[in-house]
């Protein structure tokens, strides 16, 4: 039932359409049941009594009933299909909206392909059920109940004999249904595995081809496909067996009832019309049970898919806004402080990324973080953006503890230029104004000028409206980096986080971008991560980290004189 509670919650805003579809469903079922009574009247009062007028009137009434059935079926089908599409769209939005609230750590623990599979394949399963399967199930449930009522009113004896076979039908539905549901979930998991492998291989296609790994990848993918195929075949086998067992039992029971009822007609205990009506209703009940057994498999698959989606919806972000978040000062000065911060990543709880780390950055100050890989430089950025919270210690922005502020308000004060520039599969214009969607095209052009990107952008086929392809495949590494820098310039936020912002540029481009960044950083609080020490010599202060601790602080000249780790790194780089 929990998966279906999710359906009912999504259906609640569309109660009027649900009611309209339900009325049409009841009318259609009633019209179908009325056909049986018309058949009884045609045989007993038309054929047997030899009354042509009665026959004409009865057949005309049956035609009107069938016309009503057709109209009600149209209304039901349209509205239920509309609900299926609407609920699927709402569900995809709900899941996607929830995914955006989860921290990067959640995605690092999972796999992107599996999430994509749940958001697409699983919601398609649910769409099929709500758009058709659920309607068919309700329709046949009504016909089953109504048919049983008409059976009782037609012949109690034959109905009792019919119902004795019901347990023989119900038991296979339950047993096979559980098996089908389990296999349906396994099948969806196999599809998710395929999505993971496709995403990983296509994303890294250059490495795959460079190392000649195509044959091995083909073999691995073929194995995954065959595993998914085997699971699907097993599910289909169980579902087919369910339908076969139900049909054999149900229609075998009808044959038995015809044998008993035929003798009752010959003995005069019931009329031929009553037997015909009984057989019609028995066939209706049998067809309903058969349809329900078939739809049951779809419902089980949808239940399995919904459980997977509910796992996503049930994942709660560890970083949340407090019930009453403290507002950040306006205007924001940009003072940052980390006070005795200790932090270990969830995947490496025994290895501290920062160990009682303390750092204060004054408004407008430029501080460079330098040190070997794994020293904790990127972790400082992760904590400032509240992708994680430290195990101990405190981070503050203009005196407000980040834990007491709204994470979105904190992030809105920070512009980030990551080491690997992120380019979305859209135009130059939309990429640059990603952090300021309402920016005008003139403002975008100004930011690109400041980032020294305008020259190459204007040479693109459609200029600022050129589609850059997935992950910016149409641009060089340096061009992608300048687009990312233009995005940060346009965002115009009081705090800048630059993570190797010039690492992908050639010497000339680096010189131009450094000039642009110096203009941008003036009056703003800036933290710079750099392995290339030539890019941080003009920083107000250089902080040297090792094993999550600060071991040196000073200007470039001061640190060179001390002959510590910074001087050692500088000698290695400048000598090279």
pLDDT recorded at residue 45? 63
Sorted by sequence, the CB contacts under 8 Å of residue 249 that are 6+ apart come out as 165, 168, 169, 172
What is the rounded distance in angstroms from the CA atom of residue 393 to the CA atom of residue 349?
A: 16
pLDDT recorded at residue 342? 93
Residue for token pair 């009081």: 494
- Among 200-214, 256-270, 417-431, the range of highest mean pLDDT: 417-431
What is the rounded distance in angstroms from the CA atom of residue 116 to the CA atom of residue 35?
A: 48
What is the rounded distance in angstroms from the CA atom of residue 137 to the CA atom of residue 299?
A: 9
Q: Once rounded to an integer, what is the mean pLDDT over residues 277-288?
A: 76
Task: Please name the helix (run of DSSP H) or strand (run of DSSP E) that holds residue 192, with its range, or none.
Answer: helix 166-203
* Pairing verdict, β 525-529 and 366-370: parallel
Q: What is the pTM of this model?
A: 0.66
pLDDT recorded at residue 46? 55
Angle at which helix 15-41 crosses helix 134-154, to 10 degrees, equals: 30
Residue 49 has pLDDT above 60, yes or no: no
What is the rounded distance in angstroms from the CA atom of residue 207 to the CA atom of residue 211?
A: 6
pLDDT recorded at residue 331? 86
Distances in whole angstroms, Cα of residue 304 to Cα of each of 180, 242, 307, 308: 10, 18, 5, 7
Residue 116 has pLDDT above 60, yes or no: yes
For residue range 370-381, list pLDDT tens digits in order: 888 888 888 999
For residue range 245-281, list pLDDT tens digits in order: 777 777 777 777 777 777 777 777 777 777 777 777 7
DSSP 360: E
pLDDT recorded at residue 50? 58
For residue range 87-106, list pLDDT tens digits in order: 888 888 888 888 888 777 77
How far separated are the first and last CA of the chain, in Å rounded? 67
Q: Which of 403, 399, 414 is nearest to 319 (CA)?
A: 403
Helix (H, G, I), strand (E, B) or coil at 546: strand
Distances in whole angstroms, Cα of residue 155 to Cα of each of 39, 150, 161, 260, 281: 16, 9, 10, 12, 11
What order do you get walking across the sheet with 414-417 strand by strand? 414-417, 495-499, 525-529, 366-370, 541-546, 549-554
Residue for token pair 């110096």: 518
For residue range 522-555, list pLDDT tens digits in order: 778 999 987 777 667 778 899 999 888 999 898 8
* DSSP secondary structure of 222-238: HHHHHHHHHHHHHHHHH
Sorted by sequence, the CB contacts under 8 Å of residue 88 that are 6+ apart come out as 123, 124, 126, 127, 130, 131
Neighbours of 169 (CB within 10 A): 20
Max CA distance (Å), the chain: 121
pLDDT recorded at residue 341? 92
Mean pLDDT score of the chain: 80
Q: Once rounded to an integer, what is the mean pLDDT over residues 474-495?
A: 84
Residue 395 has pLDDT above 90, yes or no: yes
Task: Please name the helix (run of DSSP H) or strand (run of DSSP E) that holds residue 367, with its range, or none.
Answer: strand 366-370
Residue ranges of alpha helices (H) inside 204-213 are 205-210
Distances in whole angstroms, Cα of residue 26 to Cα of each of 145, 280, 400: 12, 19, 61
List the single range of 57-66, 110-119, 453-462 with lowest mean pLDDT: 110-119
Residue for token pair 């599979």: 117
Helix (H, G, I), strand (E, B) or coil at 401: strand
Residue 473 has pLDDT above 90, yes or no: no
Distances in whole angstroms, Cα of residue 312 to Cα of each of 74, 106, 115, 318: 36, 10, 8, 14
Q: Once rounded to an integer, what is the mean pLDDT over residues 382-405?
A: 90
* DSSP secondary structure of 230-281: HHHHHHHHHHHHHHHHHHHHHHHHHHHHHHHHHHHHHTTSS-HHHHHHHHHH
Question: What is the pLDDT confidence band of residue 358, given thresholds at 50, 70 and 90?
Answer: very high
What is the rounded distance in angstroms from the CA atom of residue 255 to the CA atom of residue 247?
A: 12
For residue range 500-520, list pLDDT tens digits in order: 766 656 677 677 667 767 767
The percentage of residues in the chain with a pLDDT greater than 70, rounded to a whole number, is 87
What is the rounded distance in angstroms from the CA atom of residue 99 to the CA atom of residue 101?
A: 5
Please give the domain boundaries of the chain with CATH numbers for all domains.
2-314 (1.20.1560.10), 336-575 (3.40.50.300)
3-state secondary structure 461-487: CCHHHCECCHHHCCCCHHHHHHHHHHH
* Range 550-564 burial, b when 16+ CB lie within 10 A, else e: bebebebeebbeeee
Sorted by sequence, the CB contacts under 8 Å of residue 323 that are 6+ apart come out as none
Distances in whole angstroms, Cα of residue 84 to Cα of each of 30, 74, 235, 258: 24, 15, 24, 40
Question: What is the pLDDT confidence band of residue 113, given thresholds at 50, 70 and 90?
Answer: low
- If you count them, how many residues does the chain have? 576
pLDDT recorded at residue 360? 92
Residue 126 has pLDDT above 80, yes or no: no
């Amino acid at each position: 039932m929990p998966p279906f509670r999710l359906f009912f919650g999504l259906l609640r805003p569309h109660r009027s359409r649900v009611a309209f579809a339900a009325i049409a469903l009841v009318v259609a079922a009633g019209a179908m049941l009325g056909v049986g009574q018309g058949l009884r009247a045609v045989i007993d009062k038309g054929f047997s009594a030899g009354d042509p007028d009665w026959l004409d009137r009865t057949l005309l009434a049956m035609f009107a009933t069938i016309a009503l059935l057709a109209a009600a079926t149209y209304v039901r089908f349209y509205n239920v299909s509309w609900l299926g599409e609407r609920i699927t769209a709402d569900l995809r939005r709900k899941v996607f909206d929830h995914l955006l609230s989860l921290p990067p750590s959640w995605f690092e623990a999972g796999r992107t392909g599996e999430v994509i599979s749940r958001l697409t394949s699983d919601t398609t399963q649910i769409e099929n059920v709500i758009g058709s399967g659920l309607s068919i199930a309700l329709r046949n449930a009504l016909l089953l109940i109504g048919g049983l009522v008409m059976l009782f009113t037609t012949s109690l004896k034959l109905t009792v004999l019919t119902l004795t076979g019901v347990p023989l039908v119900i038991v296979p539905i339950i047993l096979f249904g559980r098996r089908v549901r389990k296999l349906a979930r396994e099948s969806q998991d196999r599809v998710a595995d395929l999505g993971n492998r496709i995403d990983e291989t296509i994303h890294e296609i250059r490495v795959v081809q460079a190392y000649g790994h195509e044959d091995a990848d083909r073999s691995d993918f073929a194995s995954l496909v065959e595993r998914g195929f085997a699971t699907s075949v097993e599910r289909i086998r169980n579902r087919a067996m369910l339908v076969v067992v139900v049909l054999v039992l149900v229609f075998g029971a009808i044959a038995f009832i015809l044998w008993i009822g035929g003798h009752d007609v010959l003995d005069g205990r019931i009329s031929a019309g009553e037997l015909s009506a009984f057989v019609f209703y028995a066939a209706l009940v049998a067809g309903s049970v058969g349809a329900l057994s078939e739809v049951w498999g779809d419902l089980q698959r949808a239940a399995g898919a919904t459980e997977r989606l509910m796992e996503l919806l049930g994942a709660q972000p560890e970083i949340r806004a407090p019930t009453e978040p403290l507002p950040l000062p306006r205007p924001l000065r940009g003072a940052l402080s980390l006070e005795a911060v200790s932090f270990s990543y969830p995947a490496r709880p025994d290895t501290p990324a920062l160990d009682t780390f303390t750092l204060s950055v004054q408004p407008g100050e430029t501080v460079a973080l330098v040190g070997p890989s794994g020293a904790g430089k990127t972790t400082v950025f992760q904590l400032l953006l509240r992708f994680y919270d430290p195990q101990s210690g405190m981070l503050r922005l203009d005196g407000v503890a980040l834990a007491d502020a709204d994470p979105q308000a904190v992030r809105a004060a920070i512009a980030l230029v990551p080491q690997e520039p992120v380019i979305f599969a859209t135009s130059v214009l939309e990429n640059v104004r990603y952090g300021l969607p309402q920016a005008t095209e003139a403002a975008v052009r100004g930011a690109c000028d400041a980032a020294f990107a305008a020259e190459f952008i204007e040479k693109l086929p459609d200029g600022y409206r050129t589609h850059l392809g997935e992950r910016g495949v149409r641009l060089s590494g340096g061009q992608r980096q300048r687009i990312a820098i233009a995005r940060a310039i346009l965002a115009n936020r009081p705090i800048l986080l630059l993570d190797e912002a010039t690492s992908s540029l050639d010497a000339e481009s680096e010189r131009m971008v450094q000039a642009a960044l110096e203009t941008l950083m003036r009056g703003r609080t800036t933290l710079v991560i750099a392995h290339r020490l030539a890019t941080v010599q003009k920083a107000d202060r250089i902080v040297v980290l090792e094993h999550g601790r600060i071991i040196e602080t000073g200007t470039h000249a001061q640190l060179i004189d001390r002959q510590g780790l910074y001087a050692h790194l500088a000698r290695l780089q400048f000598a090279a």
